Amino acid sequence: MNDPAAEEPTEAEAPVCPRHPDRVSYVRCQRCGRPTCPECQRPAAVGIQCVDCVRESKRAAPRIRTVFGGTATATANGRPVVTLTIIGICVVSWVLQLVTGGVWTQALWFLPWQGAMEPWRFLTASFLHSTSPLHILFNMYALWITGQFLEPLLGRARFVILCLLSAVGGSVGVLLLAGDPSTSGAWFTPVVGASGMVFGLFGAMLPVMRRLGRSMGQVLVLLAINGAIGFWVPNIAWQAHLGGLVTGALVATAYAYAPKERRDLVGWLVPVVGIAVLIGLAVWRYSSVGLL
């Protein structure tokens, strides 16, 4: 006579999760068939898959590109990661401006005459703002509105390049339009703010919207209003707005109208050519006034 207890599986024979051998699991991955504990289970179209199979399927899946060449999965969980990161950097930088009594600001702001000796200021000034909360709030809101639209379309890498080149382009605009150093105070007036970057995103909206076949009416109205503010409100560097606008529009045009078979090449050429042009303009300007 058979003993029923002898036919039951012992604890040693119970299936365990390969990643967590101390956990018994009677649920198996629908793809590889291995046991998988609740921590390693991921819902699939049919049943459950283990984390290893999910990772492998993502690696093997073809990358879907947008019409501009960006990866369609450029944002995590639908969030514009780059946009949020830039906003976070600006907020942290603004707090440092307040708590250091201006030391952080003076170390990173942009003055045209300083740029020749300390070129990093062409970029760092875009992450600073005046002590007025309205300045940073307005720029961050504009960055959020434009960034959450452009970043998924262009992809993270292209969007980062667009933002950085627009930021530098804004400072170059200030330099080119500073006037004669012997008579213009613009050479010795510090410039701070992400406005050059923001206007670069405004400028990028134009070729992107045109490429998508969408109406540009609202973008043009928004651009006109913000552009006019730079002339009506004192202490606003409209030169940075113009420099960022032109830079952003040119960068986005290259991305939007690049032939499909050459999008990867254009993706590499845009930052190289963009940096070379901006450096060339700055060097020419400094040489023309005897600072180089």
Task: Identify the bridge partners of residue 48 per DSSP, sorted by sequence position.
Answer: 43
Of 57, 215, 241, 288, which one is the catalytic site residue?
241
Distance from C-alpha of 93 to C-alpha of 113, rounded to nearest angstrom: 23
CB 162 within 8 A of CB 220: no
DSSP string, 93-134: HHHHHHHTTTHHHHHH-B-HHHHTT-TTHHHHGGG---SSHH
CB 211 within 8 A of CB 230: no
Active site residue 184: no
Distance from C-alpha of 33 to C-alpha of 55, rounded to nearest angstrom: 16
Helix then strand then coil, in percent of the chain rounded to 5, is: 65, 5, 30
Extract the tokens encoding 141: 């809101």
Of 20, 25, 195, 287, which one is the catalytic site residue?
195
Q: Is 63 exposed, middle or buried (0-12, 13-18, 19+ CB in 10 A)?
A: exposed
Distance from C-alpha of 72 to C-alpha of 275, rounded to nearest angstrom: 26
CB 170 within 8 A of CB 240: yes
Distance from C-alpha of 2 to C-alpha of 9, rounded to nearest angstrom: 15
Distance from C-alpha of 217 to C-alpha of 248, rounded to nearest angstrom: 18
Which one-letter DSSP state was computed for residue 47? S
Active site residue 195: yes
Extract the tokens encoding 269: 């050429």
- Give catalytic residues, as residue numbers: 195, 241
